[in-house]
Amino acid sequence: MLLAALLTPFIRQLAFKVGAVDNPNARRVNKIPMPTMGGLAIFLSFNLANLFLLRNQYPSSQLYSLILAQLIIIATGVIDDIYELKPRQKMFGIFLAALVVFFVAKVRMTTLTLPFLGVIPLGWLSFPITIIWILAITNAVNLIDGLDGLATGVSIIALTTSAVTGYFFLNVTNTFVSIMMFTLVAALIGFLPYNFHPARIYLGDTGSLFIGFMMAVFSLYGLKNATFITIIIPVIIMGVPITDTVYAILRRWLNNKPISQADKHHLHHRLMQMGLSHRQTVLVIYGIALIFSFISLLYPLSNLWGSVLLTVATLLGLELFVELIGLVGDGRQPLLDGIKKLVLMTSARERCDRDKEDRHK
């Protein structure tokens, strides 16, 4: 935490010198040029702590292979913050880092245990499933980085919940993973005062890609021998970035637009368009992230059917919220329209019954 707090001002000056600056435009909310590349301070403080303070806590092969993958992600983010890469170029950088995780660190999904079916070895499917998981989670965090302190705060909440859940509830034997998660949380907390509204430095793609990548890798340790519970818990914990990404893809597909095309209809955009201030929007999304975290803590305490009902209830509540704020687009409210029709039908039936009673009297 102290390392991140001390390094961030230096990274801010470095960002200005190398041209890693976000200039105001139609899509961005900043009104003045803002230094990016703040994720470099998080990366440096996280790894300095790991190498010099906590090295004995981690298996050497895991630590150094993960650092290699992180370097690829950081290089991708730094280049993008300075020169602005195309989406496919960023995806290629994430893909290279994912290859290191799979083949060098050997962190991957190997089996899947499903109710009534038992253990299913993934075999050759282990490779595409692991790579797609890393690509999806990394990009999901990258997409929510649109307001001061938003991605940083949501990641603090998600990583803290993941560390607590993994250490106390899921009986994960790799306790060093929880230590690494708490170390990353500390680095994010040290950076947050510079990043919260009004921000003095942005995470940039250097930070959002790095945080998303590490969240994906950490979750894979719990998904090595995946079950229904170990899959659903990280998905719920990362509910905010995953929801925003899924509905962004759905929105663009329904409007016949390229999936990679940016727009101003993400979760934070919609809340601000409804009248919330910058700070209020960030705090509301923090609250949503906390709700997802509390829900995820119920899964280890539930049986199978309790988990199924909890998932259904969460999805219904999420769909209602998404339709109410118009995340997919105006007029696309299938669940709300269905509820309205049901209410109208019930009211009409009640009126009909009352008319019959009146005529009878």
pLDDT for 317 equals: 93
Do 78 and 48 belong together in one domain? yes
Q: Coil, strand or helix: which one is 249?
A: helix
Same-domain check for residues 324 and 343: no
- Measured in degrees and rounded to the nearest 5, phi and psi for residue 43 equal -60, -45
Q: Give the pLDDT of residue 171.
A: 54
Number of domains within the chain: 2
Do 285 and 178 fall within a single domain?
Answer: yes
- Is 263 annotated in a binding site? The answer is no
Range of the domain at 226: 2-330
What's the pLDDT at 172? 52
User: Hey, which bits of the chain come out as E strands?
Assistant: 21-22, 34-35, 111-114, 118-121, 225-227
- DSSP 8-state class, residue 264: S
Do 11 and 99 lie in one domain? The reply is yes
pLDDT at site 28: 62
Which has the closest alpha carbon to 278: 7, 109, 30? 30
The whole-number pLDDT of residue 8 equals: 97
Write down the pLDDT at residue 214: 96
The pLDDT profile of the chain, 361 residues, written as one tens digit per residue, is 999 999 999 999 999 999 999 887 665 666 778 899 999 999 999 999 999 888 888 888 888 999 999 999 999 999 999 998 988 999 999 999 999 999 999 999 888 877 777 778 888 999 999 999 999 999 999 888 888 999 999 999 999 999 988 888 765 556 888 899 999 999 999 999 999 988 999 999 999 999 999 999 998 887 776 777 778 888 899 999 999 888 888 888 888 888 777 777 888 888 998 999 999 999 999 999 999 999 999 988 888 889 889 999 999 999 999 988 888 877 788 888 888 888 888 888 888 878 787 787 7
142 is in an annotated binding site: yes
pTM of the model: 0.90
What is the Cα–Cα distance from 30 to 28, expressed in whole angstroms? 6
Residues 293 and 358 in one domain: no
Together in a domain, 237 and 358: no
216 and 343 in a single domain? The answer is no
pLDDT for 189: 97
**244 and 345 in one domain?**
no
If asked whether residues 352 and 262 sit together in one domain, one would say no
